Structure 1
């Protein structure tokens, strides 16, 4: 609340809350459109098409990503995305699935340029002591959107033409772009010029991860966590097989998880996290895996709802801890690591969507303990590795300069 009294932070947070909410509307609209026009397979192709640019640019496009390390340039990206989203229904009607996939790829390129740069620039807007709090505040935008977005999208799909959701999302991109343009001309925006200057170094991911292996362990565990939690895709089948429950129970579980995460966000952004953040981060994923595995032990819906609240309560600590850790790096290194992290989780998410539902669908009840305990093992090993590799290193003294660019 103290940070929201600052004009630049309030402007950015409000604009991004609007934009992320619009993204949830877009996600519902594009999947509905893909299914209705071309069937279930098209839904998978859309998801893959939007993820591929994250993987490619995160792996090979460090120079291109670094060129957008400025609020003004991110404003241009948002305007372009607004145009792409606004014309997407027309492109579909004119060029069919191929045209829509081309738009999805271009939107993915925009996201791959925008997301890591915004994450790297946000810490520059506050003092070092407020970095964790501002990361918690930005995480709150996603929490609100994930809870409210699907419900609002469902209502709007019932009362407005499908184009309406795309136009609404385009409007939220415009709002975000205007806010970023305003911030780029404000005095506070003089701070992010450090990120622009640092981005000229363009550090190599191999050097960063080899020099900071505890950070590499945390990013690797992030990918494993995303992969393991994709078992939630078969949650409806799990509810039917385990509790003989239906759609109402599914909605209740999602609501309980969202409520837990929303409540815990207020703690994650404001309570000092103990010890080494990479160790804490990996250990928190292990706790999340343990809770995920325990879902199979729930013998009734109320017990499962309690488990869901606990699982949701763990979630905000994960992005806040990792973002705060990465924010301690110099701007160029921070941007590169955030881009690598996005590449890892997009890769894990894409692979999981292709394989996990089919594998878990055969036995959805057993899938939860298998995924959860597997995550416990990986995250536990990551936590031990992060502790051993980082215990003699200062968390605020990462390498920089020529050392970063060395191959």
Structure 2
């Protein structure tokens, strides 16, 4: 193991272990949730996802008014425990009352919304565990790969788990993983939260991240591009692929899990490679990642067989770590701890704002074109984001605005 391996740091190793288990539970939960909603609502399932995106957007905008004043470690613990309580509700309703879409909708929306508290707090807490920049970069890679590794193992467990428990109990499994994650975080070192002046107006606090971004044109592009790409990802991969499988490949939840697992394989392989790179110009891997993802999505929408769908999904997944890890490195190394959470929350606003738009438009798009054409359109959109990045921040035009 490298001397700079973050797993040599006991608190990082402990945090990673808890989050890895929780990430597995999340992916199992997502498979059960998406498949259930698509089975019930068909092409209108996008409106369900739009409600989730709207929840994250609102929590990101207004939840930050409170979370910026809270201790980051305690915020993560509270978010995990609340999510555990929420995801156990559907099995309880199914057992003792009546489970309907009107139970699933608020549960899914609130569980997604609580990410707006947990994720920024995690990003602000990580730099307190190490002062070494190389270790921090590898920690970013490690934690990013945790989520992506879960995309391999979690969905692939859907089929064998169905033989042991009904899909509804996937929610119960996720609740247990949230509790374990909370207990793990509770054993980590305490951290001090930088205070937010009480004299700041509500409007100023809502847009505080925008103030921190002034002069950082590269970070502005990364935030906006991240939102557009994730809107295309949610529409093109998560939703449209489920519809393609249901209409053209026998409606197999196991196949859907395998396609998502293939995406996870591409994520993890690329993550291991990118986290070890020396990146003097962060825009090179970002732009390359957008173009690779674009090609993968076009191939996915054109794939005539399940095997080619899996291969295309794995190839498209290479683009995400190429874009994400340089962003995290820039964020954590060039912004104050208070601004890290705010800028990351702004990233979530961009991400879920575009997902909300994409999901709200999805029923109309599916009336105009087949799901596979929607996937291709999403791929071309991602390609345009990458092409703009090359025109604006190509190698010869890079300005080292973060090397001040």
Regarding TM over 0.5, the answer is yes
For these two proteins, the number of residue pairs brought into alignment is: 385
Partner of 2:122: 118
Please report how far the alpha carbon of residue 234 of structure 1 lies from its aligned counterpart in structure 2 after TM superposition. 3.0
C-alpha separation between the residues in 2 aligned to 1:53 and 1:299? Answer: 36
Please report how far the alpha carbon of residue 237 of structure 1 lies from its aligned counterpart in structure 2 after TM superposition. 6.7
Partner of 1:347: 353
Partner of 2:153: 148
C-alpha separation between the residues in 1 aligned to 2:109 and 2:136? Answer: 32
Q: In structure 2, which of residues 62, 65, 69 is the aligned counterpart of residue 63 of structure 1?
A: 65
CA contact (8 A) 2:294 2:382 kept: yes
Cα deviation digits, residues 162-210 of structure 1 (max 9, x gap): 5532222111111111111110xx3xx4xx42xx116559671221233
C-alpha separation between the residues in 1 aligned to 2:290 and 2:312? Answer: 15
Cα deviation digits, residues 209-252 of structure 1 (max 9, x gap): 333221111111111212333323434676899xx876698676
C-alpha separation between the residues in 2 aligned to 1:302 and 1:228? Answer: 22
Check if 1:217 corresponds to 2:237.
no
> What does residue range 102-113 of structure 1 map to in structure 2 within 5 Å?
102-113=106-117
Superposition RMSD in Å: 3.5
CA contact (8 A) 1:123 1:134 kept: no
Partner of 1:270: 276
More off after superposition, 43-52 vs 112-121: 43-52
CA contact (8 A) 2:50 2:360 kept: no
Please report how far the alpha carbon of residue 39 of structure 1 lies from its aligned counterpart in structure 2 after TM superposition. 4.8
Please report how far the alpha carbon of residue 392 of structure 1 lies from its aligned counterpart in structure 2 after TM superposition. 4.2
More off after superposition, 170-179 vs 40-49: 40-49
CA contact (8 A) 1:285 1:376 kept: yes
CA contact (8 A) 1:283 1:380 kept: no
C-alpha separation between the residues in 2 aligned to 1:298 and 1:88? Answer: 36
Please report how far the alpha carbon of residue 67 of structure 1 lies from its aligned counterpart in structure 2 after TM superposition. 2.7
Partner of 2:183: 178
Partner of 1:159: 164
Runs of at least 5 residues in structure 2 that lack an aligned partner in the other structure: none
Q: In structure 2, which of residues 9, 14, 21 is the aligned counterpart of residue 11 of structure 1?
A: 14
TM-score by length of 2: 0.81
C-alpha separation between the residues in 2 aligned to 1:40 and 1:363? Answer: 13
Check if 1:50 corresponds to 2:52.
yes
Check if 1:205 corresponds to 2:202.
no
Check if 1:131 corresponds to 2:136.
yes
Please report how far the alpha carbon of residue 363 of structure 1 lies from its aligned counterpart in structure 2 after TM superposition. 4.2
CA 1:386 to 1:62, structure 2 compared with 1: closer, same or farther past 3 Å?
Answer: farther
C-alpha separation between the residues in 2 aligned to 1:260 and 1:375? Answer: 17
Please report how far the alpha carbon of residue 267 of structure 1 lies from its aligned counterpart in structure 2 after TM superposition. 0.7
CA 1:333 to 1:301, structure 2 compared with 1: closer, same or farther past 3 Å?
Answer: same
Q: In structure 1, which of residues 261, 283, 293 is the aligned counterpart of residue 298 of structure 2?
A: 293
C-alpha separation between the residues in 2 aligned to 1:44 and 1:58? Answer: 21
Partner of 2:385: 378
Q: In structure 1, which of residues 302, 315, 318 is the aligned counterpart of residue 320 of structure 2?
A: 315
C-alpha separation between the residues in 2 aligned to 1:302 and 1:345? Answer: 30
CA 1:296 to 1:170, structure 2 compared with 1: closer, same or farther past 3 Å?
Answer: closer
Cα deviation digits, residues 11-65 of structure 1 (max 9, x gap): 10010011111112222334456567x6558955543333223211323343223
Q: In structure 2, which of residues 79, 85, 88 is the aligned counterpart of residue 86 of structure 1?
A: 88
Runs of at least 5 residues in structure 1 that lack an aligned partner in the other structure: 398-407
CA 1:376 to 1:50, structure 2 compared with 1: closer, same or farther past 3 Å?
Answer: closer
CA 1:300 to 1:71, structure 2 compared with 1: closer, same or farther past 3 Å?
Answer: closer
2:187 counterpart SS class: helix
2:318 counterpart SS class: helix
C-alpha separation between the residues in 1 aligned to 2:211 and 2:396? Answer: 15
C-alpha separation between the residues in 2 aligned to 1:95 and 1:296? Answer: 34
